[in-house]
Amino acid sequence: MCYSAQIWADFRKYERIGGKLNIKEFTKLAGWTKKKGNWVKVVPKAMRRAMTDATSGVLDIGTVEVAREAETEAIALIASEIGTQEARLVEANAKLASSKPTKKAENDRRVATNKIEAGRKKLEDLALPASADGIDRIWPGHFAPVMIRDPETGGRMVVPMRYRCRLPGWTEADEIEKPGTYNARRDKLSTVWRKVFGYNHGIMIVDRFYESVYLHNLQQRPLVPGEREQSVEILFSPSTGENLFVACLWTYVEPAGDNPGFYTFAAITDDPPFEVIDAGHDRCPVPIQEEDVDAWLDPRSNDYASMYAILDRRVRPYYEHRLTG
């Protein structure tokens, strides 16, 4: 599975290839994540910075203001948590210095110290600028710009989508039970994904992707007696340095209760090339040819053959790899 990827997180980059932003959806995302308090958690930094930038003229001032409010509230929440943990630390230290120190106080001191350090790191990270190239990393559950076909104009439209697709008919409980729908296997498109494949197609532009593999598979050896499986993270990137137009499927989740409607998506994966197999992994995203983008975004549900042909004509770069960390 492609569980993480470096993508074009700055949606303004999509304008260079004809993508028009759906302002309403970006405004909704800022307001919704502000209300839920997860703006920083689910929106990549490059995307957040683009949404709070009033100088670009891409988003209207109302959207920028909501995004800035979400950023301000996120900072305030982290600062508040640091304050709470600092008070907890003072109390724990006082108890430990008393004539009757307790194990609870020891645990409170440890937890508070760790949370204070984590909170300060978050604030430091929030103060840093996003990468100048607009590239950022996403994980399942994050929102990312995805290009789809505008149903009104037929042109290319960019909307924020959550990287984990909620299949038609599914509830939030179904997602929790089956959390792996951030990827759509090519050999399952006409079965598991039959209500989406041929109907709702999108494109995510990827710079590189990450996979978790077992160390012994990476080293192309069996486990030795008594050895436990050890997972390591591998970064794969095309040797040419090109951007990859990864084929995606998407759905729209209708509003429910206090939650607004939102888009979700999955990246299509297939059997990998030999160099990815040699690195210990068995799946790979499917990047299509740039000249096939418009045909992919405007599918025909009664013409699977054409859609499969686009996937089979995929770009086939050589993927270099290295261990992260």
Encode the chain (325 residues) as per-residue pLDDT tens digits: 566 888 877 788 888 899 999 999 999 999 999 999 999 999 999 889 888 887 777 788 889 999 999 999 999 999 999 999 999 999 999 999 999 999 999 999 999 999 999 999 999 999 988 877 777 888 899 999 999 999 999 999 999 999 999 999 999 999 999 999 999 999 999 999 999 999 999 999 998 888 888 888 888 888 888 889 888 888 899 999 888 999 999 999 999 888 899 999 999 999 988 998 888 888 899 999 999 999 999 998 789 999 999 999 999 999 998 888 6
Contact, 105 vs 95, CB < 8 A?
yes
User: Quick one: pLDDT at residue 287?
Assistant: 96
In a domain, 298, yes or no: yes
In a domain, 84, yes or no: no
User: Quick one: pLDDT at residue 2?
Assistant: 62
Residue type, 277: I
Beta-carbon-side half-sphere exposure of residue 23 (alpha carbons within 13 Å): 9
Residue type, 81: E
Q: What domain range is 159 assigned to?
A: 4-19+133-323
In a domain, 15, yes or no: yes
User: Quick one: pLDDT at residue 1?
Assistant: 52
d(C-alpha 18, C-alpha 20), whole Å: 6
Contact, 285 vs 237, CB < 8 A?
no
In a domain, 185, yes or no: yes
User: Quick one: pLDDT at residue 323?
Assistant: 87
Six token digits for residue 106: 């020891």
- Torsion (CA) 7, 8, 11, 13 in degrees, nearest 10: -170
In a domain, 308, yes or no: yes
In a domain, 76, yes or no: no
Strand pairing category for 287-288 and 244-253 = antiparallel
- 218, exposed or middle or buried, with CB in 10 Å at 0-12, 13-18, 19+? middle
What CATH number corresponds to the domain at position 8? 3.90.1680.10
Contact, 50 vs 67, CB < 8 A?
no
d(C-alpha 151, C-alpha 157), whole Å: 9
User: Quick one: pLDDT at residue 204?
Assistant: 93
Count of domains observed in the chain: 1
In a domain, 141, yes or no: yes
In a domain, 240, yes or no: yes
Percent helix, strand, coil in the chain, to 5, is: 40, 25, 35
Question: What pTM, to 2 d.p., does this model score?
Answer: 0.88
